Amino acid sequence: MTDNAANSPIIYQSDSRRAICLVGPGWRFTSGISYYTCQLANALADHHDVSVIQMRQLLPRCLYPGRQRVGSRRARMAYRPEVTVCDGVNWWWGYSLVRALSSVASRQPEVLALQWWTATVLHTYLALAVAGRLLGARVVVELHELQDPGERRFRPVRWYGRWGLGLLLRLCHGYVVHSAADREELSAYYGLENRRMAIAPHGPFDQYYPGMEPMRVNEEAVSAVMMAPRADVINLLFFGTIRPYKGLESLLRVFNGLDVQEASGLWLTVVGETWEGCTEPARLIETSPHRDRITFVNDYVADEVVSAAFGHADVVVLPYRRSSSSGPLHVAMNWGLPVIVTRVGGLPEAAADYDGAIFIPPDDERALKMAIQQSIQLAGQRFKDPRTWSESIVAVLDAAGCESSQQDFEDVSS
């Protein structure tokens, strides 16, 4: 399908409530995009009629790196009561696709916004995009990753994802990316001159707050992430899935290379689930000369554990080798913590207006050590998070070709 008027805005009354349908992951395979979709839907619901179609069973469970936790609820947050949720579509379709298509047909959304982060949803997104266009919806693709780093490792999957994303983008009226770096990469590969484009930084991850009461099953993990003696040391936190591109090995080599005096004022807390056979960080932790100053929680933890980890941290360290965006970065900024982050992908833009950010080159252990020393001077300070969900709302509407009204620019919270 083509859209000869792709760059001509569709004008709605500025005081109208638009019907908007978001499509993204549900809670069965919880990921950062599960939280993102929920946050965006709740923010949109302040001024629009919002529905959500969740991707339920993303792929065969045996193929998922976090297979042991599938179906185990990690999130405390929920969709607002006024948001209609269809849970959800399974990878093999069956009746689940019929149910999703029926939801789209019954609600007749003006905007259908597809959250893209993995090729496992491609065939479903193509079906929903075609259905949306046939029903007159403006189809938008919001890209969190052009392709999952794990999927890039396998040539057939890499080809399928790149080819399929190109087809999906041809079906859409516009797209949203989180940074100019993503826009340039996307345009260079696909060429999207006839599609509307909007850039919006990742919205604030403010779903975590101090004092979350842990469920009994999580009490041990909460205690573990609060092990660092607060009065005596600076607690460095690495948080997120443990994957090759995250660069955790660099942080551990720097920490392990400290002498006794340097290490005496520091503590390192590592919280994350191992993916893609990335076991080198675990080995570096177990063989560290400072093992008694490292806390390691090897799990995709529940929200109250996340809250405890960031609430007990003094500095967050994210030594990524590549990244389009980062949920842990936005959690750190929402907590106002000093954060060491590499200049890769969209991360410099995401944290550009954040006064607590210390930028370093990727894979530069000398610079990382200097940044840790610099961050000690910032520990205890709190910084203002510059991000709002209004930026994301306006970007989705602009990419769809809708006229943004003043209410869409107001700060919204979930």
Q: What is the CATH number of the domain that holds 177?
A: 3.40.50.2000
> Considering the domain boundaries, does residue 10 fall inside one?
no
Torsion of CA 369, 371, 377, 378, to 10 degrees: -140
> Considering the domain boundaries, does residue 12 fall inside one?
no
* Residue that is written with structure tokens 């069965």 in the block: 28
* Residue that is written with structure tokens 């410099």 in the block: 348
pLDDT for 216 equals: 62
The Cα 397–Cα 185 span in angstroms is 22
Give Cα separations from 47 to 393, 405, 413 (angstroms). 10, 10, 12
> Considering the domain boundaries, does residue 4 fall inside one?
no
Q: Residue 109 belongs to what domain range?
A: 19-203+388-409
Across the range 48-55, mean pLDDT stands at 97
The Cα 254–Cα 382 span in angstroms is 25
On the question of pLDDT at 319 being above 80, the answer is yes
220 and 198 in a common domain: no
> Considering the domain boundaries, does residue 79 fall inside one?
yes
Across the range 271-275, mean pLDDT stands at 95
72 and 184 in a common domain: yes
251 and 398 in a common domain: no
111 and 24 in a common domain: yes
402 and 366 in a common domain: no
237 and 119 in a common domain: no
242 and 105 in a common domain: no
On the question of pLDDT at 261 being above 80, the answer is yes
> Considering the domain boundaries, does residue 106 fall inside one?
yes
On the question of pLDDT at 160 being above 50, the answer is yes
For the chain, give the percent of residues with pLDDT over 70: 92
The least confident of 122-126, 132-136, 314-318, 323-327 is: 323-327
CB 158 within 8 A of CB 132: no
Domain count along the chain: 2
> Considering the domain boundaries, does residue 383 fall inside one?
no
> Considering the domain boundaries, does residue 381 fall inside one?
no
265 and 157 in a common domain: no
239 and 198 in a common domain: no
Across the range 34-51, mean pLDDT stands at 96
The tens digit of pLDDT for each residue in 336-360 reads: 999 999 999 899 999 999 999 999 9
Strands across the sheet containing 196-199: 84-89, 49-55, 19-25, 111-116, 138-143, 174-177, 196-199
Q: How far apart are the first and last CA of the chain?
A: 36
332 and 198 in a common domain: no
Across the range 65-72, mean pLDDT stands at 87
The Cα 229–Cα 243 span in angstroms is 28
Across the range 28-55, mean pLDDT stands at 95
191 and 252 in a common domain: no
313 and 265 in a common domain: yes
Q: Read off the pLDDT band of 215 (50, 70, 90).
A: low
Q: Read off the pLDDT band of 5 (50, 70, 90).
A: very low
Helices and strands of the chain, counted as H and E runs: 16, 13
Across the range 191-198, mean pLDDT stands at 82
SS3 203: coil
> Considering the domain boundaries, does residue 209 fall inside one?
no
